Amino acid sequence: MTKKGVVLTGAHFMNGDVACAEGAIAAGCRFFAGYPITPATEIAEHLSERMPEIGRIYIQMEDEIASIAAVIGASYAGLKSMTATSGPGFSLMQENIGLAVMTETPCVIVDIMRGGPSTGQPTMPGQQDVMQAKWGSHGDYEIIALAPSSVQEMFDLTVEAFNLSETYRTPTILLADEVVAHMWEKVVIPTAEKITTINRKKPNTSREEYMPFMPDNDLVPPMACFGDGYRFHATGLTHDEHGYPKTQDSEVQQKLVRRLCEKIRKNTDRIVRVEEVMLDDADIVVIAYGIVARAAFSAVRKARDSGIKAGLLRPITLWPFPEVHVTKIANHAKRIVVPEMNCGQLVREVERAAKETPVVLLSKLGEDPPTPAEVLEAIRRNSR
């Protein structure tokens, strides 16, 4: 699988967690801090070998809180940084994810979803962290979360997560389910020159003029790192462009928080990615993500074979939610079916965007994702 001192290229047979780890390496990740937790442990295990081989840093921390704290610190020291966890660990990270949002710290958080609440089903899949990814920390903010449906996408979207994080100076989440993380498939890793990687903007002002949170026209501030020779203050408190706390100033609070939200909202068209399958004339549209989208794709094809005009919209970007795409299909679809491995999470966003078009939830919990037969039956039932 690995060759000492070499970044992998070519075709490989690997599971999703290993593909994610190799994606991080290909994206330029130089620091990983984590704590073992099923079903994300293989990411840490793989990187514990690979990172030292290629001169990068791996640290096993004492818990998930320390892991995300170390990732924030490493990012501010100038290193592309990542951690990986699952539901209970993701919960523990939320306060520091909010700190990363407020200090505009680029970093990647991989959450391999399993059944919950609490410790739940450590070895079984779930899609129960979708809303937590968006609203897990307190306060108003926007987040970016990507949902892979294949092992190849575990590689590709990890690279994309780093690029989005560096572009918008924000934590970015890879939100995968246990099945995608643990399945084995062919993965093609391009050579380095064929992989697009993005690095954070650096300041081009003098050290005396530099303000760490003064945005450019794209609402994203250039980022000086510790050791670059700039003196600046970074805090999770409400702060002005100089980074100094202004906790009693409502005008500064409003200006700062709105910018943190708007730098994502105003770039939604650039961030959002979806896959569209047979939507041009679809009367029944299935909206699914992660492993469930694979069952939905099979069901849509079988529905077409039986004369039902079915289509699939797969959100690759869960956050920002692809509202424009859902509203567009709702204008001609008679009904929308949303299969999820939860009691209903993304379906609420679909209902909001679909407006008057009826939306039906196919909810399933436990170790088995919805099958193609179950999704097909939901399509047939709602096409009458």
Domain parsing of the chain, residue ranges: 10-194, 274-381
Bridge partners, 276 (sequence order)? 313
Label residue 367 by pLDDT band (50, 70, 90): confident
Could you give the percent of the chain with pLDDT greater than 70? 99
Q: How confident is the model at residue 365 (pLDDT cuts 50, 70, 90)?
A: very high
Using the predicted structure, report yes or no on whether residue 282 has a pLDDT greater than 90: yes
DSSP 157-206: HHHHHHHHHHHHTSEEEEEEEHHHHH-EEEEEE--GGGS---------S-
The pLDDT of residue 366 is 83
Residue 1 has pLDDT above 50, yes or no: no
Per-residue pLDDT at 36 exceeds 70: yes
pLDDT (average), residues 199-225? 95
Does residue 17 have a pLDDT over 60? Answer: yes
pLDDT, average across residues 109-137: 96
Q: Where would I find the beta strands (DSSP E) of 170-323?
A: 171-177, 184-189, 274-277, 284-287, 310-315, 317-319
Region 109-131: what's the mean pLDDT?
96
The alpha carbon of 358 is separated from its chain's Cα centroid by a whole number of angstroms, namely 28
pLDDT, position 358: 97
C-beta of residue 31 within 8 angstroms of C-beta of residue 61: no
In the predicted structure, residue 83 carries a pLDDT above the cut 70: yes
What residues contact residue 108 under an 8 Å CB cut-off, 6+ apart?
24, 29, 81, 82, 83, 158, 161, 162, 165, 171, 172, 173, 174
Helix axes 41-53, 16-27, angle to 10 degrees: 40
pLDDT of res. 3: 55
Give the integer Cα–Cα distance in Å for 50 and 18. 10
How many Cα atoms within 13 Å fall on the side-chain side of residue 205?
Answer: 16
pLDDT at 214 over 90: yes
Q: How far is 69 from 31, CA to CA, in rounded Å?
A: 12
Q: Do domains 10-194 and 274-381 have the same CATH topology?
A: yes
The residues, any chain, with a CB within 8 Å of residue 165's CB and separated by 6 or more, are 106, 107, 108, 144, 171, 172
- Mean pLDDT value of segment 350-368: 95
Residues 6+ apart with CB under 8 A from 353: 321, 323, 326, 327, 330
Chain centroid, CA 113 distance in Å: 12
Mean pLDDT, to the nearest integer, of 237-265? 96
The strand ranges marked E within the chain are 10-15, 31-34, 57-60, 81-85, 107-115, 121-125, 144-146, 171-177, 184-189, 274-277, 284-287, 310-315, 317-319, 335-340, 359-363
pLDDT on residue 368: 87
Cα(338)–Cα(114) distance, integer angstroms: 19
Q: What does the pLDDT average to over 129-151?
A: 98
Question: Is 6 a residue whose pLDDT tops 80?
Answer: no
Fold of 274-381: Rossmann fold (3.40.50)
293, 149 Cβ separation under 8 angstroms: yes
Beta strand 144-146 with 335-340: parallel, antiparallel or unpaired? Answer: unpaired
The pLDDT of 331-345, averaged and rounded, is: 97
Mean pLDDT of the chain: 96
- Which residue type is seen at 97? I
Residue range 10-194, CATH number: 3.40.50.970
pLDDT tens column, 314-329: 999 999 999 999 999 9
